[in-house]
Structure 1
Amino acid sequence: MPAYIIVNTRVSDPTRIQEYRDLAQQSVHQYGGRYLVRGGPMLMLEGEYHPERLVVLEFDSLERIREWYASEAYQKAKAARDGIAQFDMIAVEGLDVPL
């Protein structure tokens, strides 16, 4: 069943975050994930949630997300953003619906 990661990012050093982005992208692709949303304009429809920059990724399953998140490749990326970005990150299982 597909699973998704939803991330709200707050970056304090836009120049240094590029190393994280490069490493994270490589690790996501290595584990079969793909980016569905990477920032971009947002339209607030309801509520009080005001994310700065949203990223949405898709993986084959929650288990694959666990593997990716614990991987050496992603841990290296995560270390590259220490002190320059804060993330709120959740993973959620999607629906397995026929097209």
Structure 2
Amino acid sequence: MNYYAVATIDFTNTDWVMEYLQKVTPMVERVGGKYLARTPEFELVEGDGPIPQTILIIEFPSKEAAQSFYDSDEYQPYKTSRQNGSVGNFFLVAGKDIAKS
């Protein structure tokens, strides 16, 4: 079953962003991940926020692949940079429809 990483990001500084994009994208791809969205372009169509600066969606082939990326030793320094330079949330979402279970 596919899993999706969904992140909301508010930048506190952007010094880390270019290196993060260059180094982390290949890490995601090595475990079969694919970026579906990395964008500040979205609309809140229902609810009252909060509204992040950027939303990120990555598709992974499995929960194990997503977790192996997130927990990998290679990713840890970049995760720390992201956490130090932004605030937000990082979700792993199962790609299943409970109405079809």
- Give the TM-score normalised by the residue count of structure 1: 0.84
Once the two structures are aligned, what percentage of the paired residues are identical? Answer: 27
Q: Does residue 69 of the first structure (1) align with residue 70 of the second (2)?
A: yes
Superposition CA RMSD, Å: 1.7
Report if the CA contact (8 A) 1:19-1:80 is conserved. no
- Name the CA distance, whole Å, in 1 between partners of 2:43 and 2:82: 27
Deviation per CA, 1:19-63, whole angstroms, max 9, x where unpaired? Answer: 122222121111110100011421221002222210000000111
CA drift at 1:77: 1.6
The answer to whether the aligner puts 1:31 opposite 2:31 as a matched pair is yes
CA contact (8 A) 1:11 1:17 kept: no
Q: Structure 2: how far apart are the matches of 1:55 and 1:21?
A: 12
Name which of structure 1's ranges 44-53 and 27-36 shifts more when overlaid on structure 2.
44-53
Look up the match of 1:53.
54
Q: In 2 relative to 1, CA 22–87 (structure 1 residues): closer, same or farther, beyond 3 Å?
A: farther
Question: Unpaired segments of 5 or more residues in structure 1?
Answer: none
For the Cα contact (< 8 Å) 2:34–2:59, is it kept in 1? Answer: yes
Following superposition, which runs of at least 4 residues in structure 1 exceed 3 angstroms of deviation? none
Aligned residues: 96
Question: Which has the larger displacement, 78-87 or 35-44?
Answer: 78-87
State the partner residue of 1:13.
Answer: 13
Partner amino acid for 2:3? A
Within 2, Cα distance between the matches of 1:53 and 1:15? 16
SS of the residue corresponding to residue 18 of structure 1 reads helix
Contact 1:6 1:54 in 2 (8 A): yes
Structure 2 residues without counterparts, runs of 5 or longer: none
